[in-house]
Structure 1
Amino acid sequence: MKPDSGVREDLEDRDPNKLNQHIQIVWDDIVGEPEGARSPECAWRLSHICFKHTRNWCYTLLAVIAAPPCALLLGCGFACLAFEQIWCTTPCLRCFKIYLASLRTLVQSCMAATLAPIMEAVGHLCRHIRVNIRRDAPEDRDLLIV
């Protein structure tokens, strides 16, 4: 975990890593009237004010009611995830890697003893094959020349 940078959090920039740039809740990004369909100026201004204040109060109310329990659950969840990774998954993967090292050596030895000579012989047989591709060649003609 990162140590806290200080007792006082930066309250101005609450999204320094730009995690939620995709959330657009500004009036101009949500509502727009085209040139041919315009509401009266007073209705437009009143709608803008209603939207802005409703959005702010609703978000504030939800944040006050739901944010602390969500933070508690997320904190516990990430603590459990970190514990599981540190004390369970990483040691198990390390053991698995150690156990499979000998199996890897065995498989490499078997392949070197069996498949390598076979592939070398096939390569020796096929070394004289040449492929010529002609643009004007008919479709049914075999282009493989041995």
Structure 2
Amino acid sequence: MACQAREVSCFCKYADLTCMCYKPVLVNLGKTTCHTEVPSNTPKASGLEDLSGKFVIITYDELPYVGQVLKVVGEDVQVSSMRQSDEKNVFMWPQIADIIFYNKKDVQAVISEPEPANSRYSQLSIQDWATFRTAWG
């Protein structure tokens, strides 16, 4: 069985399981098999495996934000965040997209899609607003 290996360790945290950093080469390991399965103690086992496209409350610098998960990569989620108007249940998408990778541990809750409040703003459901306020502390 041949597996990929490299002389230098890769710390590419957004790469797929087979990353091409530092030019990996095939190594013959005889009858040994290569393992690329996800360990059972990852968030996949805790129910956070299917976040793509969902709306979440995520914390950054100890403050909660509402956003939509664009992509899940390993332990990280790429989120497009909304901007809150004052401290009210009023959110809008910024003119320049606020897209950042967060660690899955920063996801506080999965929520329903914010409902239109008017042509510019959206608001959270009563239950999601309560969850957001709880995350605010």
Structure having the higher strand fraction is 2
TM tier, smaller: under 0.3
TM-score (norm 2): 0.19
Structure having the higher helix fraction is 1
TM-score (norm 1): 0.18
